[in-house]
Amino acid sequence: MKKILFASAALLIAFITIHAQTLDAIAGGDDTKPTKEERKEIKKEKRDERITLRRVRGNEISYQSKEQFNRSYGTHPEVQWNKGKYFEEALFNNDGIMTTAYFDADSQLVGTTSDKTMTDLPLSAQKQIARQYKDYTVQKVIFFDDNEAVDTDMILYGSQFDDADNYFVELTKDNKSVVLQVSTEGLVGYFTGVE
């Protein structure tokens, strides 16, 4: 445990030092943009600072995750548990909405997903998707509600993302599927392709 803490601290110090040097170079009097190499280094630093997710262990759902679920949502006799690679997942009916709660390796609630529709998206996002993806068919819309008290990042569609509340819109055209990430403010971006 101490080795992990020391390694994390060393990485953080290295990141801060490199980040400060990069900012000094960028702000160093000329108004030029960072070079391609500098942009690559900045992107690599951001990737490295992400929290590495730990796999959940064992074949059984942990007692701690079940207790955390009960504290957060009360007793749901029909809850269905699934053990994923990085999360223990509880599928349950939350006031008439099918919801999945995700618990990390420390049995902390990372966040929830629930099914939504296109009309739940901000209007600006609806218009942009209709314009840019007019030939695509909407397959699914989900909303990820982050637990802000926990720093663990989430993985959806096989891709890790910063913990923040977001909609995810799955679209298909012919044999091609894409997933768009939509912020609660209506910003739309490509998230990943789906196989």
Alpha carbon 102 to its chain centroid, in Å, reads: 11
Least confident of 40-54, 118-132, 162-176: 40-54
Give the per-residue pLDDT at 29: 43
- Tell me the average pLDDT across 98-123: 95
* More confidently predicted of 68 and 18: 68
Average pLDDT of the chain, as a whole number: 81
- Please check whether residue 124 is in contact with residue 181, taking contact to mean a CB–CB distance below 8 angstroms: no
Q: Which of 148, 140, 107 is nearest to 121 (CA)?
A: 140
Confidence of residue 54 (pLDDT cuts 50, 70, 90): low
CA distance 127 to 118: 10
Predicted confidence (pLDDT) per residue in 148-172, tens digit: 998 888 989 888 887 789 999 999 9
Which residues lie closer than 8 Å to 88 by C-beta, 6 or more apart?
A: 56, 61, 62, 65, 81, 82, 102, 103, 107
Give the per-residue pLDDT at 136: 96
* More confidently predicted of 126 and 9: 126
